[in-house]
Structure 1
Amino acid sequence: MAAAARRRDVSCLLLLLCFSSSMAAGGGGGGGGEQEADRVARLPGQPASPAVSQFAGYVGVDERHGRALFYWFFEAQASPAPEKKPLLLWLNGGPGCSSIGYGAASELGPLRVARQGAALEFNQYGWNKEANLLFLESPVGVGFSYTNTSSDLSNLNDDFVAEDAYSFLVNWFKRFPQYKDNEFYISGESYAGHYVPQLADLVYERNKDKRASTYINLKGFIVGNPLTDDYYDSKGLAEYAWSHAVVSDQVYERIKKTCNFKNSNWTDDCNAAMNIIFSQYNQIDIYNIYAPKCLLNSTSASSPDRAFFANNQEQFRWRVKMFSGYDPCYSSYAEDYFNKHDVQEAFHANASGLLPGKWQVCSDQILNSYNFSVLSILPIYSKLIKAGLRVWLYSSGDADGRVPVISSRYCVEALGLPIKTDWQSWYLDKQVAGRFVEYHGMTMVTVRGAGHLVPLNKPAEGLMLINAFLHGEKLPTSR
């Protein structure tokens, strides 16, 4: 017991030293040395070309509690120089899922984890072609982000997350002052449908004193397959499952009879009916219902000897290739890669192996302890649209069962915005890439054939989408 206590004391001391360093770097006046200390020369298994300018490290957000958030930043590749391009922050949801493991390394970053987690490969559709990309592991307890105060993990809620993310931005801009005046946009997906608008709202409120040193040049936000409003999200999930033959007519009728989704506390009968939907999704991938489910042995997720549980391994791999390169096991590959010691060392992460357990793409602990206190984000939409921010929402056209396009359409329609441009197709390579509708103050876009993670399933369409958003342009409406 004494030895264990000594190890805990040493760990806490080292974490405090690490946190103090991150606070000093975050609070530095000129960035310079602290910024260069975060530069990542090259990650293990990274392709030699093209060159990628990247930084990673910790930024302190609460000195008293010892909280620090981990980031991965890529400078824009396209001309003009990075300092002239917008800065785009990306957040993943969950709550409890890593923006490093999902957004950066599996979806829209320039370096994606290759199969089996052995190396990285260059992503020709990386969004850093259009913007400087900043990925943040938030809240504390997610990925490499940490706290010295364990009670923080039981106090997490939307307000807590927004305040920490805001503190991160203020301190990050001190470390990277060359981006302080750039156009700034916030983006994310899934439960970041809460994080993104709430952070935008907090930045907007703190920006009211334009002379303050903490002023951030916020121009807008974009969210993908976002959880937005409990009532519409739940109603749409049930309708989608029925309309896509996941459940029978009888089950759907039972849901309509027993479920009042306007009540956040479902009855036992409603829970039982909805559980039928989720039991069906145990057999397929709820996030992309037309893709194969990952059959990787979860008990050996970090083993190089793992195998797909399929009757015909080659047939299964062939099926995977059919879905625009979609690989349902990508999160396991990310965990293999980011748990390597040499990767963490090159990445400036998890110094001395102080984080409890292994790095995870998603934390069950955070999900299970998170305090869900906000039922609807729609009032924030109305407020920020009136404030003149650019607001876009995109959704998979037909394949995401978790936050289906039906839910998003209900949410957007509830805002009561007048239509500017009617529902119409947009194109890529002479094919329909999806549909969109422009409202006065907001645009909603669908991406045909994508699942929950649009940049992963439809990377070319995702790049065209973010390009149009950042430039405030309409998507192409002719072949």
Structure 2
Amino acid sequence: MWSRRAEPTVSQGGGLFCFRNKFANKPRIHTSLFRPFFLRIIPPKTPARTVSYPASMASKYPSLLFLLLAASSLLSTTANFDAPGLAKDADFIDELPNQPESADFRQYAGYIVVEPINERRYFYYFVEATGLNPASKPLILYIGTHVVDLQGSALLSAFQQVGPYSVGDDGQTLYSNPYSWNKFANVLFMEGPVGVGFSVSSNGQDIYKCSDLQLIDETYKFLLGWMQRFPEHRNADIYLAGQSYAGVLGPGVATYILFKNSQPNATHVNVRGILMGNPTLDVDLEFAVRVDSSYQMNILSEEIRDEHHRLCGSRDPAKYTDCLKPLQEESLARYALDDNSVYAKFCPNIDLASVGLDNFKTTVYDCVDQYVAGYLNIPFVQGVMHAEGPAWGPAIWQPYARSLEFSRNITDSTIFLLRALGEGVRALIYSGVLDREAIIPTEEYIKKLNFTIASEWRPWFDNSVQVAGFTETYREGLTYATVRGAGKKVMADKPRCGFILANSFVTNSHLPRSNFELPV
């Protein structure tokens, strides 16, 4: 067990050194070698052994989709066959290295088997809610994100956005997050699929392929297995949360849970809501209108926007070659902008000699991701968090699974969102207005739903005088909110506003108004 007072050890191999900081009076871990390391690790690609799911009917026939998923579930068990009490105790984290002195909550980390044939194991990090009787509070399952076409780890959000701690710029020190979501809920961070973060398989050939449908199925199995290990949370109200890809995975998992709940002798899961940040909801719609957001931000010229609409808007295969020109023009116009926010700050102390076209964004903007990677790649930290390596080598944590082949067989999540809302599951869509691709596609998507407005478009506030964004609610159970001054990572850019958003939604309360609003 790690102790803050324990003397640090020194690696004799010359790779890493542990030393005591005379100012902080606690062990420190030198990790400078790790910061760029995750960018250079590319595991050997091998054929994957995964369950295949038909892609053609995924969006149109959800009942058939769930029958296919249910049939695949017969090939494997739906939960771990471990001794829940022993496994839970083994997953307990006394404290993380270099975390702040005081913590009034418990935390756990470990693995849940989602497919026993290849021992596909999803890694999780769980933080209990603060205060008395945490089991009486809701449970938020935080799923991963993605950027471009890379599947991302939920631990990024855990250690830079919504978890109890954030990693400092030394890649070693943890600082308390005053806007952690565990102040109002239990938060369970899931890394999936296998190949993302610390999630592993005993079969080295099984790591590199997955699909939307497979991930929905395995997320459900993960949740059942986790609740078996933590039975005090079996009756909790469950909320699914995440960014970007949560627009597909959130509605998909929620609807699959509802489908499984209706089956005889099924374990009932109380899914109550979905929180989706700057979500990808309809790929075709997003592709067709995303340039309008960039145009309004003065990133693209009117000529490029119009050319994109004319040649790319219809997704006509016959115009594919013609569409390449405006796509290339778009790419050139925004290549030097961060993918998360058009006004993102660049990293401090950039070595300009190391910056090139192939690593521009990761070097200039992704320093926070590298801080998290530096911390999670410390062997001591991995040991405390019970992280294990894959069959082919040691544990190496990367923010994004660059070697994962992921099949997108759900391009439009509308049918799943409608089914979930129709059965009483509420949904929150929130968008940071500085994400160059989110605002207009999201508003066009909501317009397509043709919902009935329950509360008209209005500003919402974080302190009665500061406009945090704008919001509108619908009778069908959907809330839409924008966040000013934030990009794709709302919880990192505007943590207080993000906290208010999530807390208000989980407690089913209205976003705050101003005490000085004009009468209607």
Could you tell me the TM-score, scaled by structure 2's length? Answer: 0.77
Query: Using a 3 Å threshold, how does the CA distance of structure 1 residues 425 and 194 change in structure 2: closer, same or farther?
Result: same
Map of 1:128 onto structure 2: 182
- Aligned partner (choices 333, 350, 373) of residue 308 of structure 1: 350
Match of 2:399 in 1: 361
Aligned-partner residue type, residue 140 of structure 1:
V
Q: Could you list the per-position Cα deviations for residues 157-197 of structure 1 after superposition, in whole angstroms to 9, with x for gaps in the alignment? A: 10010111111111110000000001111111111211111
Q: Distance in 2 between matches of 1:25 and 1:55?
A: 18
Show the counterpart of 1:431.
466
Between the aligned residues of both structures, percent identity stands at: 29
Residue 310 (structure 2) pairs with residue 257 (structure 1)? yes
Among candidates 152, 164, 183, match of residue 97 of structure 1: 152
Q: Assess, with a 3 A threshold, how the Cα gap between structure 1 residues 337 and 154 changes in structure 2: closer, same or farther.
A: closer
Deviant stretches of 4+, over 2 Å: 23-29, 148-155, 260-266, 278-281, 292-295, 351-358
- Find the residue that maps to 1:26 and give its secondary structure: coil
Q: Is 1:469 matched up with 2:505?
A: yes
How far does residue 26 in structure 1 lie from its aligned partner after superposition? 3.1
Are residues 1:158 and 2:192 paired? no
Q: Is residue 88 of structure 1 aligned with residue 140 of structure 2?
A: yes
What is the one-letter code of the residue matched to 1:334?
V
Q: Provide closer, same or farther for how the CA distance between residues 171 and 357 of structure 1 changes in structure 2, counting only shifts above 3 A.
A: closer
Question: Are residues 62 and 420 of structure 1, via their aligned partners in 2, closer, same or farther at CA, if it must alter by over 3 Å?
Answer: same
Q: Where does 1:335-414 land on structure 2 (aligned, <5 Å)?
A: 335-350=373-388, 355=393, 358-366=396-404, 369-396=405-432, 398-401=433-436, 403-414=437-448
Matched AA of 1:415: L
Match of 1:242 among 295, 308, 325: 295
Q: Partner of 2:151: helix, strand, or coil?
A: coil
Which ranges in structure 1 are unaligned for 5 or more consecutive residues? 1-7, 9-22, 296-306, 312-326
Deviation of 1:269 after TM superposition, in Å, equals: 2.0
CA distance in 2, matches of 1:154, 1:76: 34
Q: Is the 8 A contact 2:203 2:391 kept in 1?
A: no
Tell me what 1:323 maps to: none
Kindly indicate which of the two structures has a greater share of residues assigned to helix.
1
Conserved 8 A contact 2:166-2:175 = yes
1:228 partner amino acid: L
**Aligned-partner SS, 1:141:** coil
2:471 maps to amino acid? F
Q: Distance in 2 between matches of 1:249 and 1:223?
A: 31
CA displacement, residues 15-35 of structure 1 (integer Å, 9 cap, x when unaligned):
xxxxxxxx9993346x22211
1:448 is the counterpart of 2:502: no
Distance 1:383 1:151 in 2: 36
- Structure 2 partner of 1:197: 251
**In structure 2, what is the equivalent of residue 223 of structure 1?**
276
Q: Which residue matches 2:71?
A: none
Q: Is the 8 A contact 1:230 1:261 kept in 2?
A: no
Q: How far apart, CA to CA, are the structure 2 residues paired with 1:443 and 1:81?
A: 29
Aligned partner of 2:135: which letter?
A: E
Task: Go from structure 1 to structure 2 and tell me whether the alpha carbon gap of 1:345 and 1:265 turns closer, same or farther (over 3 Å shift).
Answer: farther
Indicate if the aligned counterparts of 1:284 and 1:292 stay in contact, CA closer than 8 A.
no
CA contact (8 A) 1:91 1:103 kept: no
Aligned residues: 425
Shift of 1:232: 2.0
Matched with 2:172 is 118
Match of 1:67?
A: 120
| Conserved 8 A contact 1:222-1:391 | yes
**Residue type at the aligned position of 1:478:** S
The reply to whether residue 46 of structure 1 matches residue 80 of structure 2 is no
What root-mean-square deviation, in Å, do the aligned CA atoms of Structure 1 and Structure 2 show? 2.4
